Structure 1
């Protein structure tokens, strides 16, 4: 969702609320993660003393296959972020979000922030035992008598 920020940049003390959802179809191209429910984005743009900040919370429910036992699981995640928004920068600077023509696509910011925070190793639970290396049984739900299950 694109937000028009021109007035916000010119009026100190002004705020602009952010509250919308990114549909799962818009996230279908993301590899390694599956979103079966919309990603909820909430927050506020604020102009304090001429400095515009974006406080953002991104909530999602991730459906994933455990990297150890291969079982599907569903887990909610919630992350908060704060960004300084500027109209332009003189040189490359990752500390600021640039609002070209006083517009900002918050989808891009929210999805990038979310992907940088999600774990790269997805486990159904912290103590997942995984699969037996010899017979392939799920060691979380059963035990085996082969050499691989004894370790």
Structure 2
């Protein structure tokens, strides 16, 4: 959905409702490919206040991502509220607004950048994900393994038997 900023600023009715659905293409985020599972739904309003256009919207969609610990895919719901301020006047550059260069505001681009900025850095399928075994690579959420998982720093290996050889 594209909106001409100058039309919204110059009109008598200075608001426009947004009810928009669109497909987000696959994208890469920190080395992982993220696949949208549903259409992105945007609902809200765009209003103008003098030379500034304010967009307030609710964004919902679902994404398929890979867990950072166990590498399984999982569904991640997006449900965010966004508020952005735009202007087509370069003199307003210092007023915490995004300058729209060609007078055309592409809502899809704004929504996509807000979705990307809302993604967690560490993407987990569940908060208590056990991850993969460091020895055999088994997914510890689905199976257990018989590997020796004593996480001992080899620098402290000498101290391992310290309490066993204690004389009373």
TM-score (norm 1): 0.83
Q: Partners in 2 of 1:60 and 1:41 — Cα distance? A: 9
Q: Which runs of 5+ in 1 are unaligned?
A: none
**Map of 1:95 onto structure 2:** 96
Q: Deviations over 1:40-87 (max 9, x none)?
A: 122210124664211022212011121111111112111111112212
Q: Which runs of 5+ in 2 are unaligned?
A: 152-168
Number of matched pairs = 147
2:140 is paired with a residue whose SS is coil
1:80 is paired with a residue whose SS is strand
Q: Partners in 2 of 1:110 and 1:135 — Cα distance? A: 41
Q: Partners in 2 of 1:133 and 1:94 — Cα distance? A: 51
8 Å contact from structure 1 (residues 135, 146) kept in 2: yes
8 Å contact from structure 2 (residues 5, 105) kept in 1: yes
8 Å contact from structure 1 (residues 86, 99) kept in 2: yes
Superposition pairs of residues 1-151 of structure 1, within 5 angstroms: 1-11=1-11, 14-24=14-24, 27-28=25-26, 30-31=27-28, 32=32, 33-48=34-49, 51-90=52-91, 93=94, 95-148=96-149
Answer with 31-40 or 127-136: which moved more.
31-40
Q: Deviations over 1:71-120 (max 9, x none)?
A: 11112111111112212223755821223454211111111111111112
**Map of 2:157 onto structure 1:** none
8 Å contact from structure 1 (residues 11, 47) kept in 2: no
8 Å contact from structure 2 (residues 5, 53) kept in 1: no
1:113 is paired with a residue whose SS is helix
8 Å contact from structure 2 (residues 42, 60) kept in 1: yes
TM-score (norm 2): 0.76
**Map of 2:158 onto structure 1:** none
Choose 1 or 2 for highest CA Rg: 2
Q: Partners in 2 of 1:23 and 1:60 — Cα distance? A: 10
RMSD of Structure 2 on Structure 1 (CA): 2.3
